[in-house]
């Protein structure tokens, strides 16, 4: 029986990967929910689980997941990889790649509960890794690197991150049956096929403490689901959960493609993640103005703005026309510094936000927020294209 | 009477009961088809002279005239078609090259008609353009990789953005359609005036072609693209600066690889002034530019023009769609062009050898798809705007072109048709009965520039409305989100190879 089950899993992961690589896009409706404690105080996963469970009707059991930040304080300087395997071959192939490039500080099977909650989970492991190459030698055009200088540190950090992006993309597209689902530091993604409440219990997420949680319940329009295809989508510290269908997918894909991001999964979340990575991490565009690119104001609004602002908005639309996201979406993107929620510019998908003390909540439905916080200080429905940003005070995290 | 082997193409039917011998047809026909016999009070028509422009039929007050294509003039033969026979007879008569006008009319596949557009259902709501804004504003010009900016907070905590990157010059189009290059000389002043005024009123651009710029059109400077072609007619610093952009013409879709010839009869006083050549002399455009024999020469001309215009205007290059168009386009981007115009083999012309028009070049759909792919593969697509031309016949052709990767489309023939052209393909004779492709004052006054302008505005308006409907139906409210989104297209009745070149799936295949 066990054997049989294992074969099933193997088949599923392989098929679904091929399925995805054949560039099928699966539109889906969804529930999204995110909580951040802006003072950096951690709290366990039961709150997020409670919230997302309220929106059971918005998913259909074909995908659920969570992203959690601050969960691995003992390994906070190490790359934390969560990896799905379909069997031992893909595992050993992937581990060869890891060993070649990293010092493996620690690794283990991701702890899970009773498998009755879910169907056919793949084998899942997490690794805590230190890069062998420190990028000091190759940094900053061979000039002498001052490891204390902020600029040089940034260069080294960016090189390291580029290397990770490259490695993750290579493993995910080249090693059959292996899929890296999260690749950040002091964060992790837990996801799979099932309702989010089942997935949450399966991964025992109330055992983890994080200062930022996002979650997702999926309602895809196809019947085939695969564990790696569930949300959140992750890359480096990024995680993205998304409700909607991006009708500008082709244009966005072309845009990130021009900067070397290969969209192998053909999912909206993938391209959204790359857009964030490109604009925020690579091009260093301030978070507070990203929405002016991703969900730019309409021309008729731009027309009414004062001239200096108008010229800037016009420049955004000219240069970043390929980064404009069109069609219905409500997304929550997060990394270790912030949670960022955004609706499409004519608000074709629901999104509610609320604050209570240091907590910021973003949800597809108000009910989920009310479930975990019955009397928020403020609760509002962000307008289309108006971001909700919760910035984490990292100082507090360091001091802890 | 000399031996006459070629037979007439058209047959003129006159209903004698309806005809009132008013002689409108006699006066309207510049080809002298109709002749009034005052003794008998009857009008005779000569089928041989008819070009099929339908002017008389349209203007006959009693509807007495019908122009019909003549059937079965030769014994039916699928190999030796009547057009082959007619051409051979003509050549045996004259010993010359057969000339023609407008675009190729041969039944090559029209790929636009084998491409279907998408619409949103359930998972993605369609957007109603009558209720929601639908944005089709388009920018033509070079785009930098990124914007550098300085972000600061003012004392009220508001974010202040200061751009540090200088945006290269851009053309701002209220709709992704412009009027193709058509020279003063090949078309009448009134036609040029109509194009210029319509472009200006609608917020788009017209192109002077290679015929220089008439002084009376200087006022449309903000909506004018001037062309620099191999003949360099009318080109001086003033000309370059009386425009919003400059286009170097290397080739034309209807006649790739060859130059142009405006016969001396068309070089009237005004045309001679505008082109800066003596009155009555033939205006010959050489096949190549005599200072461009390689891509680096082209680069020099691009930068010479940028210098002359102080880097304030986009400088583009127009090429015809030929087999090697993708690498050529790549070279042009690297040579510094801000936009590339690709003219497909079905594009129109005022005069071209028939053999060239009907046999040289490739369809714009395939050329566009492969240029866009090549530039993307090389990571330089965003550096340049692509304008397509060469038989864009409807708003859906424009939408499909944009989804295939174009930034905007040029329309030439469609604009002429809007002004009355009936595609008789005799532009090179200078006898256009519709007053468009002629310099004969008796004929040119038939096109009232105010009416021409209004009709062109109506065309732009209706196509723009239709595009908005199609965009909204697909759940998109900004045209830039459609650009290059080939996922929105499906092929029908196409081979694997054709689909692969177009980069689209076959109808019936989901995402």
Minimal Cα distance from B376: which residue of A?
A: A258
**pLDDT class of A29 with cuts at 50, 70, 90:** low
Q: Are residues B397 and B306 in the same domain?
A: yes
Domain membership flag for residue B247: yes
Tens digit of each residue's pLDDT (9 = 90 or more) over A190-218? 999 999 999 999 999 999 999 999 999 98
Domain membership flag for residue A15: no
Tens digit of each residue's pLDDT (9 = 90 or more) over B222-236? 999 999 999 999 999
Q: Are residues B25 and B88 in the same domain?
A: no
d(CA B352, CA B255): 6
**pLDDT class of B404 with cuts at 50, 70, 90:** very high
Q: Are residues A116 and A53 in the same domain?
A: no
A249 touches chain B (CB under 8 A): yes
**pLDDT class of A393 with cuts at 50, 70, 90:** confident
Contact B486 A348 (CB under 8 A): no
Query: What is the set of active-site residues of A?
Result: 30
Q: Report chain A residues whose CB lies below 8 A from the CB of B485.
A: 248-251, 254
User: Residue B49 is part of a domain; what is its CATH number?
Assistant: 3.30.70.20
Report which of A229, A305, A264, A191 is spatially closest to residue A28, judged by C-alpha positions.
A229
The helix-helix angle for B395-404 and B364-377 (nearest 10°) equals 30
Q: Are residues A384 and A314 in the same domain?
A: yes
Proportion of chain B above pLDDT 70, given as a percent: 99
Q: Report chain B residues whose CB lies below 8 A from the CB of A25.
A: 487, 511
**Above 50 in pLDDT, residue B188?**
yes
Domain membership flag for residue A142: yes
Q: Report chain B residues whose CB lies below 8 A from the CB of A257.
A: 376
* CB crowding B26-46: b at 16 or more within 10 Å, else e: bebbbbebbebeeeeeebebe
Contact A319 B488 (CB under 8 A): no
Domain membership flag for residue A13: no
Minimal Cα distance from B378: which residue of A?
A: A258
pLDDT on residue A226: 78
CA angle A237–A241–A242, rounded 5-degree value: 140
Minimal Cα distance from A259: which residue of B?
A: B379
**Above 50 in pLDDT, residue A1?**
no
**Above 70 in pLDDT, residue A20?**
no
Distance from the A116 Cα atom to the nearest Cα atom in chain B, whole angstroms: 31
Q: Are residues A121 and A267 in the same domain?
A: no
Q: Are residues B237 and B370 in the same domain?
A: yes
Query: Can you read off the two tokens belonging to residue B9?
Result: 């193409």
Burial of B17: CB neighbours in 10 Å, binned 0-12, 13-18, 19+ = exposed
**Above 90 in pLDDT, residue B254?**
yes
pLDDT on residue A268: 86
**pLDDT class of B70 with cuts at 50, 70, 90:** confident
User: Residue A242 is part of a domain; what is its CATH number?
Assistant: 3.60.20.10
B487 touches chain A (CB under 8 A): yes
Domain membership flag for residue B111: no
Domain membership flag for residue A4: no
Contact B484 A251 (CB under 8 A): yes
User: Residue A128 is part of a domain; what is its CATH number?
Assistant: 3.30.70.260
Contact B133 A321 (CB under 8 A): no
| Structural Rg of chain A based on CA atoms | 20
> Coil, strand or helix: which one is B134?
coil
Q: Are residues A234 and A162 in the same domain?
A: no
Domain membership flag for residue A305: yes
**A interface test, pick of B117, B121, B125 with most A CB neighbours within 10 Å:** B125
Q: Are residues B214 and B358 in the same domain?
A: yes
Q: Report chain B residues whose CB lies below 8 A from the CB of A285.
A: 147, 149
Contact A251 B486 (CB under 8 A): no
Contact B476 A247 (CB under 8 A): yes
> Furthest-apart CA pair in chain B: how many Å?
96
**pLDDT class of B10 with cuts at 50, 70, 90:** very high
Contact B379 A28 (CB under 8 A): no
| Domain range for B475 | 171-506
Domain membership flag for residue B488: yes
Q: Are residues B385 and B458 in the same domain?
A: yes
Q: Are residues B34 and B87 in the same domain?
A: no
pLDDT on residue A62: 83
Q: Are residues B444 and B377 in the same domain?
A: yes
d(CA B436, CA B427): 9
d(CA B385, CA B141): 6
d(CA B240, CA B237): 5
Proportion of chain B above pLDDT 90, given as a percent: 89
Averaged confidence pLDDT in chain B? 94
Q: Dihedrals φ, ψ of B99, to 5°?
A: -95, 155
Q: Are residues A158 and A307 in the same domain?
A: no
User: Residue B261 is part of a domain; what is its CATH number?
Assistant: 3.20.20.70
pLDDT on residue A136: 63
Domain membership flag for residue B1: no
| Domain range for A281 | 24-64+197-400
B467 touches chain A (CB under 8 A): no
pLDDT on residue B124: 84
Domain membership flag for residue B128: no
Q: Are residues B48 and B78 in the same domain?
A: no
Q: Are residues A390 and A346 in the same domain?
A: yes
**Above 90 in pLDDT, residue B486?**
yes
**pLDDT, mean of residues B286-305:** 94
Tens digit of each residue's pLDDT (9 = 90 or more) over B423-433? 999 999 999 99
Burial of A148: CB neighbours in 10 Å, binned 0-12, 13-18, 19+ = exposed
Residue in B127, B144, B484 nearest the CB of A250: B484
Domain membership flag for residue A400: yes
Tens digit of each residue's pLDDT (9 = 90 or more) over B37-66? 999 999 999 999 999 999 999 999 999 999
Residue in B146, B163, B485 nearest the CB of A283: B146
Domain membership flag for residue B501: yes
Q: Report chain A residues whose CB lies below 8 A from the CB of B488.
A: 250
Q: What's the residue count for chain A?
A: 400
Contact A326 B167 (CB under 8 A): no
pLDDT on residue B230: 95
Distance from the A30 Cα atom to the nearest Cα atom in chain B, whole angstroms: 11
Q: Are residues A231 and A346 in the same domain?
A: yes
Q: Are residues B311 and B277 in the same domain?
A: yes
A288 touches chain B (CB under 8 A): yes
Q: Report chain A residues whose CB lies below 8 A from the CB of B168.
A: none
Minimal Cα distance from B134: which residue of A?
A: A298
DSSP state of A281: I
Q: Report chain B residues whose CB lies below 8 A from the CB of A307.
A: none
Q: Are residues B64 and B77 in the same domain?
A: no
Tens digit of each residue's pLDDT (9 = 90 or more) over B197-250? 999 999 999 999 999 999 999 999 999 999 999 999 999 999 999 999 999 999
pLDDT on residue A200: 94
Domain boundary among A157, A185, A213: A185
The residue that leads in pLDDT, A17 or B226, is B226
> Coil, strand or helix: which one is B430?
coil
**pLDDT, mean of residues B367-375:** 97
CB neighbour list of residue A215: distance below 8 Å, 6 or more residues apart: A32, A33, A34, A48, A49, A51, A52, A64, A65, A66, A67, A196, A200, A232, A241
**B interface test, pick of A277, A310, A326 with most B CB neighbours within 10 Å:** A326
DSSP state of A60: -
Q: Are residues A42 and A181 in the same domain?
A: no
Q: How many domains does chain B have?
A: 3
Relative to beta strand A43-44, strand A79-85 is unpaired
Q: Report chain A residues whose CB lies below 8 A from the CB of B167.
A: 315, 318-319
Domain membership flag for residue A11: no
B474 touches chain A (CB under 8 A): yes
Find the Cα–Cα–Cα–Cα dihedral B445, B450, B452, B458, rounded to 10°.
Answer: -170
A389 touches chain B (CB under 8 A): no
Residue in A25, A248, A283 nearest the CB of B511: A25
Q: Are residues A40 and A85 in the same domain?
A: no
Domain boundary among A185, A212, A231: A185
Residue in A259, A315, A322 nearest the CB of B147: A315
Instruction: List the helix and strand counts (H, then E) for chain A.
Output: 12, 18
Contact B379 A258 (CB under 8 A): yes
**pLDDT, mean of residues B70-78:** 81
**Above 50 in pLDDT, residue B464?**
yes
Tens digit of each residue's pLDDT (9 = 90 or more) over B312-360? 999 999 999 999 999 999 999 999 999 999 999 999 999 999 999 999 9
pLDDT on residue A140: 46
Query: Can you read off the two tokens belonging to residue B470?
Result: 């199609």
Domain boundary among A130, A159, A185: A185
**pLDDT class of A397 with cuts at 50, 70, 90:** low
Report which of B181, B188, B184, B186 is spatially closest to residue B436, judged by C-alpha positions.
B188
Distance from the B349 Cα atom to the nearest Cα atom in chain A, whole angstroms: 33
Q: Report chain B residues whose CB lies below 8 A from the CB of A310.
A: none
**A interface test, pick of B481, B483, B499 with most A CB neighbours within 10 Å:** B481
Q: Are residues A238 and A126 in the same domain?
A: no
**Above 90 in pLDDT, residue A244?**
no
Tens digit of each residue's pLDDT (9 = 90 or more) over A172-188? 889 989 999 999 999 99
A34 touches chain B (CB under 8 A): no
What is the complex's ipTM, to 2 decimals? 0.89
**Above 50 in pLDDT, residue A126?**
yes
Q: Are residues A166 and A224 in the same domain?
A: no
Contact A324 B163 (CB under 8 A): no
**Above 80 in pLDDT, residue A151?**
no
B335 touches chain A (CB under 8 A): no
Minimal Cα distance from A249: which residue of B?
A: B485
**pLDDT class of A8 with cuts at 50, 70, 90:** very low
Report which of A51, A115, A144 is spatially closest to residue A369, judged by C-alpha positions.
A51
A26 touches chain B (CB under 8 A): yes
Domain boundary among B69, B88, B107: B69
Contact B163 A348 (CB under 8 A): no
Residue in B170, B488, B510 nearest the CB of A250: B488
d(CA B473, CA A264): 28
Contact A324 B481 (CB under 8 A): yes
Residues of chain B numbered 114-133 and touching chain A (CB < 8 Å): 120, 123-125, 127, 132-133
Q: Are residues A244 and A369 in the same domain?
A: yes
CB neighbour list of residue B393: distance below 8 Å, 6 or more residues apart: B112, B413, B414
Contact B123 A28 (CB under 8 A): yes
Domain membership flag for residue B180: yes
Domain membership flag for residue A10: no
Tens digit of each residue's pLDDT (9 = 90 or more) over A256-314? 988 888 887 778 888 999 999 999 999 999 999 999 999 999 999 999 999 999 999 99
Q: How many domains does chain A have?
A: 2
| Interface size between A and B, measured as CB pairs under 8 A | 129
d(CA B50, CA B34): 9
Q: Are residues B354 and B400 in the same domain?
A: yes
Residues of chain A numbered 304-333 and touching chain B (CB < 8 Å): 311-312, 315-322, 324-328
Q: Are residues B318 and B445 in the same domain?
A: yes
Minimal Cα distance from A252: which residue of B?
A: B481
Contact A72, A237 (CB under 8 A): no
Q: Report chain B residues whose CB lies below 8 A from the CB of A247.
A: 120, 124, 474-476, 481
């Amino acid at each position: 029986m066990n054997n049989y089950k294992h074969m099933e899993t193997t088949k599923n992961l392989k098929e679904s990967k091929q399925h995805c690589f054949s560039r099928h896009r699966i539109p889906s409706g969804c529930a999204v929910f995110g909580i951040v404690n802006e003072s950096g105080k951690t709290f366990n996963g039961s709150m997020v689980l409670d919230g997302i469970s309220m929106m059971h009707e918005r998913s259909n059991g074909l995908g659920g997941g969570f992203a959690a930040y601050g969960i691995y304080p003992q390994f906070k300087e190490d790359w934390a990889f969560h990896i799905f395997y379909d069997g031992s071959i893909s595992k050993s192939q992937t581990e060869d790649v890891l060993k070649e490039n990293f010092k493996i500080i620690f690794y283990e099977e991701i702890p899970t509960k009773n498998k009755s909650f879910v169907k056919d989970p793949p084998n899942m492991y997490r690794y805590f890794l230190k890069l062998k190459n420190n990028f000091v030698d190759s940094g900053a055009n061979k000039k002498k690197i001052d490891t204390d200088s902020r600029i040089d540190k940034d260069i080294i950090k960016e090189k390291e991150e580029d290397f990770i992006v490259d490695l993750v993309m290579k493993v995910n597209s080249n090693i059959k049956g292996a899929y890296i689902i999260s690749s950040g530091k002091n964060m992790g993604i837990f996801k799979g096929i099932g309702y989010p409440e089942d997935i949450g219990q399966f991964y025992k997420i109330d055992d983890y403490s994080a200062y930022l949680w996002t979650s997702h319940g999926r309602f895809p329009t196809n019947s085939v689901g695969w564990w790696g295809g569930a949300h959140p989508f992750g890359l480096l510290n990024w995680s993205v959960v998304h409700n909607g269908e991006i009708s500008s997918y082709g244009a966005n894909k072309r845009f990130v493609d021009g900067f070397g991001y290969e969209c192998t999964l053909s999912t909206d979340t993938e391209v959204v993640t790359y857009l964030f990575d490109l604009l925020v991490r690579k091009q260093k565009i301030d978070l507070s103005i990203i929405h002016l690119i991703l969900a730019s104001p309409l021309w008729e609004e731009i027309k009414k703005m004062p001239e200096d602002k108008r010229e800037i908005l016009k420049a955004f639309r000219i240069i970043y026309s390929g980064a404009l996201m069109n069609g219905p979406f409500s997304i929550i993107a997060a990394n270790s510094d912030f949670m960022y929620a955004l609706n499409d510019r004519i608000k074709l998908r629901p999104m509610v936000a609320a604050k209570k003390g240091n907590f910021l909540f973003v949800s597809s439905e108000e009910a989920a927020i009310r479930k975990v916080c019955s009397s928020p200080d403020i609760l509002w429905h962000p307008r289309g294209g108006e971001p909700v940003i919760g910035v984490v005070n990292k100082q507090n995290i360091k001091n802890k | 009477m000399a031996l006459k082997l070629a037979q007439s193409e058209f047959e003129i039917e006159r209903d004698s009961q309806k005809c009132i011998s008013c002689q409108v047809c006699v006066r309207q026909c510049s080809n002298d088809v109709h002749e009034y016999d005052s003794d008998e009070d009857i009008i005779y028509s000569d089928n041989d002279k008819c070009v099929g422009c339908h002017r008389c039929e349209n203007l006959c007050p009693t509807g007495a005239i019908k122009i019909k294509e003549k059937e079965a003039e030769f014994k039916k033969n699928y190999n030796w078609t009547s057009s082959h026979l007619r051409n051979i007879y003509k050549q045996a008569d004259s010993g010359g090259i057969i000339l023609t006008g407008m675009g190729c009319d041969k039944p090559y596949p029209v790929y636009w008609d084998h491409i279907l557009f998408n619409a949103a259902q359930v998972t993605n709501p369609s957007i109603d353009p009558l209720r929601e804004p639908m944005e089709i504003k388009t920018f033509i010009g070079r785009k930098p990789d990124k914007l550098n900016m300085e972000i600061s907070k003012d004392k009220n905590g508001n974010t202040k953005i200061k751009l540090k990157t200088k945006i290269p010059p851009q053309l701002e189009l209220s709709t992704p359609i412009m009027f193709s290059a058509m020279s003063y000389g090949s078309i009448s002043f009134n036609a040029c005036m109509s194009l210029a005024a319509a472009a200006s009123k609608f917020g788009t651009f017209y192109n002077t072609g290679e015929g220089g710029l008439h002084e009376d059109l200087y006022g449309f400077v903000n909506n004018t693209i001037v062309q620099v072609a191999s003949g360099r007619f009318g080109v001086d610093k003033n000309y370059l600066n009386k425009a919003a952009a400059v286009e170097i013409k290397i080739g034309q879709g209807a006649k790739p690889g060859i130059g142009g010839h405006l016969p001396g009869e068309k070089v009237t006083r005004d045309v001679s002034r505008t082109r800066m050549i003596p009155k009555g002399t033939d205006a010959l455009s050489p096949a190549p530019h005599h200072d461009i024999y390689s891509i680096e020469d082209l680069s020099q001309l691009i930068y010479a023009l940028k210098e002359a215009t102080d880097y304030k205007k986009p400088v583009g290059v127009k090429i015809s769609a030929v087999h090697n168009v993708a690498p050529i386009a790549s070279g042009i981007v690297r040579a510094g062009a801000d936009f590339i115009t690709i003219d497909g083999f079905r594009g129109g012309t005022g005069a071209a050898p028939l053999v060239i028009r009907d046999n040289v070049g490739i369809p714009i759909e395939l050329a566009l798809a492969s240029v866009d792919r090549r530039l993307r593969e090389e990571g330089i697509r965003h550096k340049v705007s692509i304008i397509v031309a060469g038989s864009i016949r409807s708003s859906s052709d424009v939408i499909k072109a944009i989804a295939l990767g174009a930034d905007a489309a040029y329309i030439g023939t469609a604009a002429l048709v809007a002004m009355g052209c009936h595609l008789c393909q005799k532009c090179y004779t200078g006898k256009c009965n519709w007053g468009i492709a002629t310099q004969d004052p008796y004929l040119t006054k038939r096109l009232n520039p105010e009416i021409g302008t209004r009709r062109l505005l109506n065309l732009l308006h209706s196509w723009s409305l239709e595009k908005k409907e199609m965009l909204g139906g697909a759940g998109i409210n900004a045209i830039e989100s459609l650009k290059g989104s080939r996922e929105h297209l499906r092929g029908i009745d196409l081979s694997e190879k054709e689909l692969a070149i177009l980069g689209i799936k076959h109808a019936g295949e989901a995402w």
